[in-house]
Chain A
Amino acid sequence: MILLATKKLVKYFGETHAVDNVDFVVNESEVLALIGSNGAGKTTLVNLISGLFRPDGGQILFRDVDVTHQTVHERIRAGIARSFQLVNLFDQLSALDNVALSIFSRQGKTRKLLALAEADREVWQEAAQILHVFGLDAKARMLAGGLSQGERKLLDVAVAYALRPKLLFLDEPTSGVSTREKAPIMDTITSVVRSEHISAAIIEHDMDVVFNYSDRIVAMHQGAILADGTPDKIRRDPAVRANLLGATEGPR
């Protein structure tokens, strides 16, 4: 059942213990929310697991394999994908190209120099299909740089999803979009990951989103895990209420 587990994971930035002895678990086929105030260490944790940062100590096990020292490339092959808090797309490529690139990469085809990308119909059909799932069909030929913020957020997730991961980290998938757009974005994302039994770990600040869409919530505070449990349990947890809910349920 356990897909990913970190053991006493540590990351320091100078004197700051950004991630401090964290034992973090993601189970198979669950939608997990990672919450905490700014600087709690959520993004650092994701950066460590996805391979952007090297940990200063501890272990990362993915499907019982130690991936602590694997490259980003190897972790993606193993099935860990992520999106970014600040949208990270290939702005001068079309939305379709953005997704197709993930597919080419996943299939090891980006090494092909002397074959026209356009001729690979299977890849383009899959890319079109993925855009359809994310409701971006109409935007397929538009440059990613020209999409609206909400569309860019979805495309960002679609690019990661096209790698067909087993575990998908989403760093604030609804930040920077209007409150009205949040629910449709989260509906789309969760329906995709649930229908394909992908585990998703979502960093999110909006507590409505967190409580509505997640199976389990992990709350972080000052680099450590403060609480871990179902939405109901977290809602009632005194430590979480004291440290997080008061702080984040202000005006938006």
Chain B
Amino acid sequence: MSTLAVALETRSPARVLVWAVPIAVALLVVPFVLESYQTILLAYGLVMAIAALGFNLLLGYTGLLSFGHSAYFGVGAYAVALMVKYLRVTSMELFLLGAIVSTVVITALFGFVCVRYTRIFFGILTLALSQVLWSLAFKFFWVTGGTDGLRVPTPMLVGVASAKGDKIEFLSHGYYWYVLAIFFACVAVMWVIVNSPFGKALQAIRDNEVRAEFVGVQIWRYRWVAFMVSGIFTGIAGALWVPLNGLTTPEVLYWPFSGEIVFMTVLGGFRSFAGPIIGAVVFNYLKTFAVGFTVYWQLLLGVVLVVLVLSLPTGIVGTASKLLGRGRHTG
């Protein structure tokens, strides 16, 4: 039975470290090994991984499929751009703080409405609300720059101004490590959250809402907090993404981007902690390759994704762990 093949989350921190340390070291030395373009590409992948990690707290752990996570990514991105435009802020730490505060406000509001519903109703509501933000960014062009978007210069990292001029050098070294550090922090925090008593309560709600209520879990409050945490992670990703991209446009608020977040998570496997991370990085490479390969890249990407999802229903991570014999049998 497939439900039985789903392995229990790896519990002991030691076992996690066996995997995590070599991967962390490899990621740290990337700027010395790969060329700048590849390093920046990976930085994009890591940023998306943070977004997907946040998204999966809702899908994988709480059982809520959001079709509106572009909203929180966009709120993070626009928070940064508007801080540049109106407040002349240049500090990346302040950007992140601003993005977090903005996403908390928006997700508290949106979540309050959405978490009272589940399944398709939840999905449609999140989608509709995200498109409200998109249309605002689109129409209020004197604030948001409309379709031209807003430019964001290279920020100061921990109070240090970037080497003047060479943007590629900045993005592929200093900024890459900055993104990596935030990525590590986000992964660590999310790992603790999903393994906390709160995380257990979320999984209980996912598995059985009625019973969760009858062991004393106040369902909608937990969903609401999960919604906010999920949004904050995605907002942080949005804030990190803007300096990489140099510009934010309403594209990041538009629903196909929400779809991409869903897709990368499913691709990696939403049943495992690492799934969305792997999925985001792989998706980023797939998309870049497809765009470079043909003008019909959406078609190519679509076909590739359909084939991958059909052949790997448990995602890349689920399939890999099965192949490695780690899918513990429980029956």
- Chain B residue numbers with a CB within 8 Å of A3 are none
B5 to chain A, nearest CB (A): 10
A84 to B215, CA, bound (A): 12
**B207 & A93 in contact (Cβ 8 Å cutoff):** yes
Task: Across the interface, name the chain B residue whose C-beta is closest to A141.
Answer: B8
- A110 and B193 form a contact (CB under 8 A): no
A101 beta carbon closer than 8 Å to chain B: yes
Question: Are A116 and B195 interface neighbours, CB within 8 A?
Answer: yes
Q: Is B27 an interface residue (CB 8 A)?
A: no
Question: Are the CB atoms of A109 and B193 closer together than 8 Å?
Answer: no
Q: How far is the CA of A49 from the CA of B293 in the complex (A)?
A: 65
Contact A90 B203 (CB under 8 A): yes
Stretch at the interface among A8-16, A70-78, A129-137, A202-210: A70-78
Alpha-carbon separation in the docked complex, A77 to B216 (Å): 8
Q: How large is the interface on A (under 10, 10 to 19, 20 to 34, 35 or more residues)?
A: 35 or more
Taking beta carbons and an 8 Å cutoff, which residues of A are in contact with B? 50, 52, 71-73, 76-77, 81-82, 84, 88-94, 97, 100-102, 104-106, 109-118, 120, 141-143, 145-146, 159-160, 162-163
A104 touches B4 (CB 8 A): no
B170-212 residues at the A interface, CB under 8 angstroms:
189, 192-193, 195-201, 203-204, 206-208, 210-212
Decide if A115 touches B196 in the complex (CB within 8 Å). yes
Q: How far is the CA of A118 from the CA of B1 in the complex (A)?
A: 27
A-B contact sample (4 more), CB < 8 A, given A76-B215, A100-B200, A163-B216: A73-B213, A88-B210, A113-B192, A118-B11
Interface residues of B in 216-246 (CB under 8 A from A): 216-218, 222, 225, 229
A-B contact count (CB 8 A): 125
Sample 14 A-B pairs with CB under 8 A, ordered by A number: A76-B216, A77-B216, A90-B208, A92-B3, A93-B207, A101-B201, A101-B215, A105-B215, A109-B197, A112-B197, A112-B198, A141-B8, A146-B1, A162-B215
Top 3 A-B pairs ranked by shortest CB distance?
Answer: A90-B207, A88-B211, A110-B201
| CA–CA, A148 and B204, complex, Å | 20
Task: Looking at the assembled complex, report how far the CB atom of A73 sits from the nearest CB atom of chain B, in whole angstroms.
Answer: 5
B331 within 8 A of A: yes
Closest Cβ–Cβ distance, residue A10 to chain B (whole Å): 23
Interface size for chain B: under 10, 10 to 19, 20 to 34, or 35 or more residues?
Answer: 35 or more
State the B residues within 8 Å of A (CB).
1, 3-4, 6, 8, 11-12, 189, 192-193, 195-201, 203-204, 206-208, 210-218, 222, 225, 229, 330-331
CB pair B4–A146 under 8 Å, yes or no, is yes
CB atoms of A97 and B215 under 8 A apart: no
Query: Cβ of A92 and Cβ of B211 under 8 Å apart?
Result: no
- Which residues on the A side are within 8 Å of B210 (C-beta)? 52, 84, 88
- The one of B1, B198, B203 in contact with A93, judged by C-beta atoms closer than 8 angstroms, is B203
Alpha-carbon separation in the docked complex, A113 to B189 (Å): 9
Contact of B4 among A52, A88, A143 (CB under 8 A): A143
Q: Is the CB of A73 within 8 A of B4?
A: no
With A91-B208, A142-B330 as contacts: A113 and B196 at CB distance below 8 Å: yes
| Residues of chain A within 8 A of B217, CB atoms compared | 101, 105, 110
Q: Least Cβ distance of A89 to chain B in Å?
A: 7
Residues from chain B with a CB closer than 8 A to the CB of A117 are: 195-197, 199-200
B196 and A90 within 8 A (CB): no
Which residue from chain B places its CB closest to the CB of A71 in the assembled complex? Answer: B218
Q: Do A88 and B200 contact each other (CB < 8 Å), given the known contacts A72-B213, A114-B192?
A: no
Check if B192 sits within 8 Å of A116, measured CB to CB.
yes
Residue contact A81 to B214, C-beta cutoff 8 Å: yes
